[in-house]
């Protein structure tokens, strides 16, 4: 997306998960950094007893030596993905690398430390120390009420999800240690951007096949769209969040539904996947024998194999272009994608 008609330059955000270097052999050097503004390096964990933030895979994060690394260096040097991302930044000066904390696997560890002053203090200080020691950057938190060491922090805090009002209030306190009531506008004072996870609207947990990242609700087939991006964006705006701070999340994968007649219809099972049952990498879609389809009403693409009765919900080129226009027309802050791997070797879907 390029600036035009006075529109500001948008954020283009991609997540890199530390385990990508193993079975998938996807390395930081494979990222097409010239197309991005931010990389979220995922995930750091939280110690549930203390709130201390720490890296989870030392080999991938800081220890792995790549061919360009020396084995004769002296001192405490950082290697692994962190160094490679630093070298990537040197070649692409527009790029910012932020540490992502939590995610689905580790989110249960937020609740206890977020509930106490000591836990929140430990979380904040250890997160900032980690960012500083690793040479990461960005500014996602800001406020005159946040202690000075918090003002330069670059973090993506990914708590999926506060389970009740108490945990929600504690999330606010985690972002700003003086607030006691959950309100999006209160949280907004302490955030530079909202990364909206506008995907996983439908999946194996449902009873009917559905679109996993549709823009609009489908009135003619409501079962196909249990959630919608437009509803979420409208709710954030209504709560006082500036559209320019909302970064739209999009999937670089598809979710499959087997033994179904298509969107809104019952299904049985999700079948195989690229690396997880029912989840296919973008680069292999559509599958052989499947036909891509576009649902104009919901603003969603998918493929359907009539012979196998298999539907896969994912963003194709038309969906990505439509969402780029949606970001522009709504005045949103940009786009983010989960996740890198080597999906972009096929070509980013919005090229």
Half-sphere exposure of 222 (CA within 13 A, CB side): 1
Q: Residue 143: what are its φ and ψ, rounded to 5°?
A: 175, 145
* Annotated catalytic residue within 160, 261, 292, 339: 160
* Residue 300, SS3 per DSSP: strand
- Residue 167 CA, chain-centre distance (Å), reads 21
286 preceded by cis ω (within 30°)? yes
Nearest to 211 by CA among 285, 150, 298, 297: 298
With the CA atoms of 17, 22, 28 and 32 taken in that order, what torsion angle do they form, in degrees rounded to the nearest 10? Answer: -90
| Phi/psi-derived region of residue 262, left when phi > 0, alpha when psi is between -120 and 50, beta in every other case | left
Cα angle: 42, vertex 338, 47; to 5 degrees: 25
Q: Are 283 and 345 in contact (CB under 8 A)?
A: yes
Nearest to 237 by CA among 340, 127, 330: 330
Give the whole-angstrom CA distance, residue 206 versus residue 267. 9
CA distances (Å), origin 260, targets 224, 268, 310, 327: 12, 7, 6, 32
160 catalytic? Reply is yes
Which residues are designated catalytic? 160
């Amino acid at each position: 997306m390029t600036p035009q008609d006075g529109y500001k330059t948008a954020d283009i955000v991609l997540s890199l998960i530390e385990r990508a270097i193993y079975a998938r052999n996807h390395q930081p050097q494979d990222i097409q950094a010239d197309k991005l503004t931010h990389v979220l390096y995922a995930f750091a964990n939280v110690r549930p007893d203390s709130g201390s933030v720490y890296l989870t895979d030392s080999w991938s994060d800081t220890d792995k030596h790549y061919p360009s690394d020396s084995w004769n260096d002296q001192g405490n040097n950082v290697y692994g993905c962190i160094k490679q991302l630093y070298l990537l930044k040197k070649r692409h000066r527009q790029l910012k690398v932020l540490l992502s904390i939590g995610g689905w696997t580790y989110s249960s560890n937020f609740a206890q430390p977020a509930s106490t002053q000591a836990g929140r203090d430990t979380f904040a200080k250890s997160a900032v120390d980690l960012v500083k020691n690793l040479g990461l950057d960005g500014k996602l938190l800001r406020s005159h009420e946040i202690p000075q060491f918090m003002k330069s922090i670059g973090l993506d805090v990914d708590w999926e999800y506060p389970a009740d009002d108490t945990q929600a209030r504690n999330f606010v306190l985690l972002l700003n240690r003086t607030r006691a009531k959950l309100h999006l506008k209160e949280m907004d004072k302490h955030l530079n951007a909202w990364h909206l996870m506008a995907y996983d609207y439908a999946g194996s947990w449902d009873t009917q096949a559905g679109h996993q990242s549709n823009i609009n609700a489908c009135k003619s087939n409501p079962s196909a769209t249990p959630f919608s991006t437009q509803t979420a964006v409208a709710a954030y705006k209504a709560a006082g969040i500036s559209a320019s701070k909302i970064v739209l999340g999009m999937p670089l994968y598809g979710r499959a539904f087997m033994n179904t007649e298509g969107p809104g219809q019952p299904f049985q099972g999700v079948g195989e996947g690229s690396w997880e049952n029912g989840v296919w990498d973008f680069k292999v879609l559509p599958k052989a024998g499947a036909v891509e389809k576009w649902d104009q009403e919901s603003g969603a693409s998918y493929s359907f194999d009539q012979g196998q009765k298999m539907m896969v919900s994912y963003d194709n080129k038309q969906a990505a272009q439509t969402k780029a226009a949606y970001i522009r027309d709504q005045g949103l802050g940009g786009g983010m994608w989960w996740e890198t791997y080597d999906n972009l070797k096929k070509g980013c879907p919005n090229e």
